[in-house]
């Protein structure tokens, strides 16, 4: 027999006295309100057999399951409720030695509790998840079926449909939903019972788990012999340790809703008081879903600035930005793992017609984001249009290009397509940023306003210059000099010939005192 084994059984008479009777009554009365009428009635009938509260609790808290089942009008479900109340009241009483473990870890037998205590001694901290695993084993067959089939509680688990479970259990889908919510609430309540087990005599201890690590659930599973998902791990850690706050909807993360996936993220609690991390992550998701045809870099600070809660944001700004980066990296890493599971289960099409529609179900699993030096890189969500590709080719080269040159570069960048010249000529001027250089067969960018890179015709330059002159008139030599800065390869004769061939007759040549002038014919003036 283990040296602990003989001391495992708790005697409530050693616990209920004048110092803790009021605390016990308060815990009992507050818990009782959470249960149904039948449960309250059977306990009330039992309570009526005692002369005072101390005598009642000394007996009530030591009851065994077989004794409760013998009560009038007390079935299996009611018995379970009574045992839960007993366990929760016990958990709220002071604990200072090993023999109290039976009431500190309710719903478990002495052998299991001893195993948990030995694991605690080995690890150096209370094994929250090993205990939770044992508690889940106490569920009846129906509850465990619902949990195992529908809750995202185990690592790599993909839930089946609620309809399938409802048919197997012979109940309605609504009843299955109610059972799901009840199970989540029971797990949450049980975690709440562990508060005193994870704190020191002087208060709450620092979390012993590496909760900032993406693979913390894997570390836990290895150390405590469990197979829990990050969803339940996040729920438990945020519940038990004051330094941690949880972001996201806990309930939604535990079950798939309308083919949509949800996850939670852990952040420092002190930062969550002055910054809305939930709003920040939603902002990241909305930005990721925007239509873009190329990678966009967005500073985390830009998105974070709209999510402050109070004036303390500025004080913790540096830490908040770092926490935001960590939160995004975590969701990226978890999303990448989830994507494989979703695809294998047929829940996400790896090659959808509309990627944004699929991504809306789980942005981090569908859109490959990345973080670099407090910048979030949002990838393209739509295919880049051909005119924009041609524009980028010209901009990259840094000078005007012929259609042949553009085509050659396009085919180099897209070796599988092998387009012809007509492809370039049909798309190049669809871009509002590209302009032809006269009739030369060369193309440039509108944004290039200086030198030979500038687009436009000789007549365009002449009109531009004459419009800047008084009376729309200037010496021909000045006009030629202006044009040559944009078209250095042409000459005076070619420029004059080009103007003389204008069918509209917009340009009028004249001579005054031996100087030849050029005038732009104004539509407001008679010729």
- Rounded to whole angstroms, the Cα distance separating 443 from 394 reads 8
Contact 261, 361 (CB under 8 A): yes
Q: Residue 323 belongs to what H/E stretch?
A: helix 317-344
Q: How far apart are CA 111 and CA 161, in angstroms?
A: 37
Dist CA 128 CA 197 (whole Å): 9
Name the CA dihedral angle for 444, 445, 450, 454, rounded to a multiple of 10 degrees: 40
Q: 3-class DSSP state for residue 279?
A: helix
* The Cα angle at residue 204 between residues 202 and 205, in degrees rounded to 5: 95
The two three-digit tokens of residue 358, written as one number: 């699929």
Predicted local confidence at residue 1, as pLDDT? 30
* pLDDT tens series, the chain, 527 aa: 333 333 334 454 445 666 667 777 877 887 888 888 899 999 999 998 988 888 888 888 888 888 899 998 899 899 999 988 888 787 666 544 444 555 567 788 878 888 888 898 899 899 999 999 999 999 999 999 999 999 989 987 878 888 999 999 999 999 999 999 999 999 999 998 888 788 765 667 789 999 999 899 999 999 999 999 999 999 999 999 999 999 999 998 888 776 667 889 999 999 999 999 999 999 999 999 888 888 999 999 999 999 999 989 999 999 999 999 999 999 998 888 777 766 666 666 655 555 555 555 678 877 889 999 899 999 988 888 888 888 888 888 888 888 888 888 888 888 877 777 778 777 877 877 787 776 677 787 877 777 777 777 888 888 888 888 888 888 888 888 888 888 887 888 888 888 888 878 888 888 888 888 888 886 544 44
The Cα 459–Cα 507 span in angstroms is 9
Residue 445 and residue 394 in contact, taking contact as beta carbons nearer than 8 Å: yes
For the chain, counts of helices (H) and of strands (E): 28, 13
Q: What is the pLDDT of residue 2?
A: 33
The dihedral through the CA atoms of 392, 397, 400, 404 has a sign that is negative
Residues 6+ apart with CB under 8 A from 293: 380, 381, 382, 383, 384, 385, 388
Give the pLDDT of residue 407.
Answer: 84
Cβ atoms of residues 400 and 453 within 8 Å: yes
Compute the distance between CA of residue 521 and CA of residue 504 in angstroms, rounded to an integer: 10
Position 90 scores a pLDDT of 75
Beta-ladder partners of 159: none
Tell me what pLDDT residue 208 has.
94
The structure tokens 């330094």 sit at 243
- CA quadruple 171, 174, 178, 183: dihedral sign: positive
Helix 37-47 with 76-91: angle, nearest 10 deg: 70
**pLDDT for residue 178:** 93
pLDDT of res. 84? 87
Separation CA 177–CA 159 (nearest Å): 13
CA atoms within 13 A on the CB side of 230: 22
Residues in the chain: 527
Task: Name the DSSP class of 125.
Answer: S
Nearest-angstrom CA–CA distance, 128 and 199: 12
CB 401 within 8 A of CB 428: no
> 162-169 and 141-150 are packed helices; what angle lies between their axes, rounded to 10 degrees?
160
Cα separation, 85 vs 265, whole angstroms: 32
Where residue 245 falls (left for φ over 0; alpha for ψ -120 to 50; beta otherwise) is beta
Residue 525's pLDDT is 47
**The pair of three-digit structure tokens given for residue 184, joined into one six-digit string:** 């989540």
- pTM for the model stands at 0.63
Structure tokens at 68: 């409760």
């Amino acid at each position: 027999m283990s040296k602990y084994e003989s001391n495992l059984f708790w005697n409530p008479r050693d616990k209920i006295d004048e110092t803790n009777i009021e605390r016990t009554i308060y815990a009992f009365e507050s818990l009782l309100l959470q249960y149904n009428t039948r449960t309250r009635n059977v306990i009330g009938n039992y309570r009526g057999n005692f002369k005072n509260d101390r005598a009642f609790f000394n007996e009530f808290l030591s009851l065994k399951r077989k004794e409760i089942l013998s009560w009038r009008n007390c079935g299996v479900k009611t018995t379970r409720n009574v045992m839960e109340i007993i366990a929760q009241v016990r958990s709220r009483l002071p604990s200072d030695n090993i023999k109290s473990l039976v009431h500190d870890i309710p719903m478990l037998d002495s052998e299991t509790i001893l195993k948990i205590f030995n694991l605690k001694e080995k690890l150096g901290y209370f094994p929250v998840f090993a205990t939770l695993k044992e508690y889940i084993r106490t569920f009846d067959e129906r509850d465990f079926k619902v949990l195992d089939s529908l809750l995202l509680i185990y690592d790599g688990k993909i839930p089946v449909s609620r309809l399938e479970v409802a048919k197997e259990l012979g109940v309605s889908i609504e009843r299955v939903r109610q059972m799901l919510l009840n199970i989540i609430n029971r797990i949450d309540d049980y975690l709440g019972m562990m508060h005193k087990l994870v704190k020191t005599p002087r208060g709450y201890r620092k979390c012993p788990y590496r909760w900032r690590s993406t693979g913390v659930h894997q570390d836990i599973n290895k150390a405590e012999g469990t197979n829990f998902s990050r969803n339940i791990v996040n729920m438990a850690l945020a519940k038990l340790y004051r330094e941690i706050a949880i972001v996201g909807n806990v309930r939604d993360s535990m079950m798939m809703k309308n083919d949509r996936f949800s996850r939670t993220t852990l952040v420092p609690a002190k930062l969550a008081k002055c910054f809305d991390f939930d709003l920040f992550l939603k902002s990241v998701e909305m930005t990721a879903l925007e239509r873009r045809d190329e990678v966009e870099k967005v500073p985390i600070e830009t998105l974070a600035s709209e999510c402050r809660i109070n004036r303390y944001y500025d004080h913790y700004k540096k830490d908040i930005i770092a926490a935001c980066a960590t939160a995004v990296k975590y969701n990226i890493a978890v999303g990448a793992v989830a994507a494989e599971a979703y695809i294998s289960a047929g829940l996400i099409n790896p090659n959808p017609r509309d990627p944004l529609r699929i991504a809306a179900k789980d942005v981090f699993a569908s859109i490959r984001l990345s973080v670099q030096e407090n910048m979030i890189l949002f990838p393209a969500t739509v295919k880049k249009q051909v005119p924009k590709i041609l524009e980028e080719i010209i901009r990259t080269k840094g000078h005007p290009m012929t259609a042949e040159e553009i085509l050659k570069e396009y085919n180099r960048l897209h070796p599988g397509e092998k387009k012809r010249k007509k492809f370039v000529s049909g798309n190049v001027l669809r871009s509002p940023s590209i302009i032809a250089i006269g009739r030369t067969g060369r193309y440039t960018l509108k944004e290039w306003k200086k030198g030979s890179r500038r687009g436009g015709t000789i007549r365009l330059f002449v009109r531009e210059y004459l419009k800047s002159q008084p009376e729309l008139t200037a010496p021909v030599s000045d006009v030629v000099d202006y044009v040559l800065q944009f078209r250095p390869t042409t000459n005076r004769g070619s420029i004059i010939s080009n103007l003389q061939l204008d069918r509209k007759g917009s340009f009028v040549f004249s001579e005054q005192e031996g100087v030849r002038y050029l005038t732009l014919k104004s539509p407001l003036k008679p010729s």
